[in-house]
Amino acid sequence: MKSYIIFSSREPFLIVTRTTIRDQEVIDHLRRFGCSKFISREISVEHVRRQYGRQFEVTEQAIEDGRLLRVLDYSGKQVFQKLPFSEFGRAYRCEAASAQVSTA
C-alpha cells in the first residue's frame, strides 16, 4: 500500500493506493476524474496512518476490499497541516494525454 500527495490544477489532495502512482491503471483512474496533469510525492504510509487514525483505517479497508485507490483527504490546507515537507518523498510528474472527465 502506498500514499501520495497529489498537486494538480486543483487543491492538493491525499490518496492511498494498493499500487504505485506510476501504474497506468492509477493514472487512468485519476485522469477519468479530471486529474490529467499532476506532480505527486509519496508519503510514508505509517506517518499517514498516525496522522489520520480511524479515517485512514476506513480507507485502508476499502483498498484491502479491492479498490484501486481512495482519496483520503481533499482538503489541501489540512493535508499541509498534517504532513510536514520532511515526509515528502521524491517527486513524480505525469502529463496524461486527452483527459476524460467522469460525471459519476
Q: How many CB atoms lie within 10 A of CB 5?
A: 24
Which stretches does DSSP call E strand in the chain?
2-7, 13-17, 37-43, 69-73, 88-95
> Where is average pLDDT lowest: 73-77, 80-84, 92-96?
92-96
Please check whether residue 103 lies inside any domain of the structure.
no
As for how many domains the chain has, the answer is: 1
Over residues 17-67, the pLDDT tens digits come to: 999 999 999 999 999 888 989 999 999 999 999 999 999 999 999 999 999
32 in any annotated domain: yes
The verdict on residue 34 lying in a domain is yes
SS3 (DSSP) at 66: coil
Is residue 90 assigned to a domain? yes
At residue 85, the pLDDT reads: 92
Range of the domain at 91: 2-95
Q: How many residues does the chain have?
A: 104
pLDDT at residue number 27: 93
User: For residue 102, which phi and psi values (nearest 5 degrees)?
Assistant: -85, 145
Q: What is the pTM of this model?
A: 0.87
With cut-offs at 50, 70 and 90, classify the pLDDT of residue 104: very low
Residue 100 domain flag: no
Establish if 16 belongs to a structural domain: yes
Residue 77 resides in a domain? yes
Residue 102 lies inside a defined structural domain of this protein: no
Please tell me what DSSP assigns to residue 100: -
